Structure 1
Amino acid sequence: MSLKPINDILGVLEQQANWQADPLALILKSWAEVVGSVAAHHSRPLSMQRDVLRVATSSAAWAQNLTFSRQTLLLKLNSKLSMSLVDIRFSTAGWHKAPDLSPPPTGFKVQEHPSYLGDSHHHYTVTQPTQQNVNHVFESWAKVTQARSQGLPLCPQCQCPTPSGELLRWGVCALCSVKQSLRQ
């Protein structure tokens, strides 16, 4: 038995295991380039099984529209992959499970949130905590939090200081409101 260098052994293992970049990750990375930005906003690759790509769409109309251009999309995707896809299936199934990556509504103002406490005149400096200043950072955070909650009304349920906007909206603090909705 001859001894081989570790690089030769790793090279053989790599070829045997067919290690390569995850094709789905590669597809996700280049999806907007392949289908266009508008179609990418309404579609999202979900999985690959047996060389068939499954794509979730925001509506049946988008599924049908993308199905018509399936052959062109296959050619573009196969040129980017080391393996070749056999087919692409478009469906609305799985669209609701995917995270919503759209930007938040533009009309939202922080001041309208029930937990908004008003403009704070405290200026914070963010530093990397070290072993010596961790306790100091915690103490200063506790002082700021206590000072901020001094004039706040108390939640009728848990007696915690609560922003008045939360009390006006839900009658209790946000945590108690969530607990109530979970019980129902």
Structure 2
Amino acid sequence: MSLSDVRQIVERIQAEETWKHRRQFLQVIKHWEAVVGNNVAVQTRPSGIYRQVLQVAVSSSVWSQALVFQRRSILAKLNPLLIGSAPPLADIHFSTAKWASLPPKVTKTEVVDSAKAAEPTELMQKHPSFVRSPQPVIKTPASPPETAIEAFLRWSNAVKQSTAHLPRCPCCSCATPIGELQRWQMCRTCARQRFFYFNTTPEEESPAPSNRLPKDPR
């Protein structure tokens, strides 16, 4: 089954009656910050829709009382943005009950901080398999793969492009980080196989080569 078939199945499921309110709630989440503003959005999180009433968790009772008087103006801005056959929202209920149980909202600052945390540390850079060379830009095809084989071929070509600048292992001719060549004079896969089989006794060695670790797709 192709990915286009999966997309058509998802579209049919979303068109069913039971998905109307779910789609409406997803649209509420999408437009909530634009409707109420960033300051209010930080202190509130929509938690569901029950009988055309939007349930919103708030951080404190002070915010709950303040927003009760603004719920009509919020509905006037929010309902026109909710596209679909589900009935429009009739009211908004603010409560502090579900605030602690809802997952925290990820801010742009937290996204930047997480990206910085994902940068390689000094310990990672000392690892022999760490690649210091910049990665080339890989063009992604506009259309999704039709079959699993096509998806594998695209992945294989992407791996080859991303490792084309690396030197080759003298044993298997695979692209190899410089640190591995400096430490073992070969890639980590060849080193693992050679050192493992070199240190085992004939009784421990496996007669079938199929038990050996597969090569990296580089």
Q: 1:45 to 1:146 in 2, by over 3 A?
A: farther
Alignment of 1:1-184 (within 5 A): 17=17, 22-81=23-82, 83-96=87-100, 97-102=102-107, 103-104=109-110, 115-117=121-123, 121-127=132-138, 130-131=155-156, 134=159, 140=175, 143=177, 146=180
| CA deviation after TM superposition for structure 1 residue 130, in Å | 5.0
| CA deviation after TM superposition for structure 1 residue 114, in Å | 9.8
| CA deviation after TM superposition for structure 1 residue 49, in Å | 1.3
Deviation string 1:123-182 (CA, Å, 9 cap, x unpaired) is 222436554674786854x636747999xxxxxxxxxxxxxxxxxxxxxxxxxxxxxxxx
Percentage identity across aligned positions?
30
Q: Give the secondary structure class of the aligned counterpart of 2:55.
A: strand
When normalised by structure 1's length, the TM-score is: 0.51
Contact 1:110–1:116, Cα closer than 8 Å, also in 2:
no
| CA deviation after TM superposition for structure 1 residue 54, in Å | 0.8
| CA deviation after TM superposition for structure 1 residue 107, in Å | 8.6
Please provide the CA RMSD for this pair: 4.4
Contact 2:135–2:162, Cα closer than 8 Å, also in 1:
no
Q: Which segments of 5 or more consecutive residues in structure 2 lack a partner in the other structure?
A: 1-14, 140-153, 164-173, 185-218
Contact 1:51–1:84, Cα closer than 8 Å, also in 2:
yes
More RCO (CA 8 Å, sep 6+): 2
Q: Which segments of 5 or more consecutive residues in structure 1 lack a partner in the other structure?
A: 1-14, 151-184
Partner of 1:155: none
| CA deviation after TM superposition for structure 1 residue 57, in Å | 1.9
When normalised by structure 2's length, the TM-score is: 0.44
Aligned residues: 134
Deviation string 1:86-112 (CA, Å, 9 cap, x unpaired) is 32111233334224311229899959x
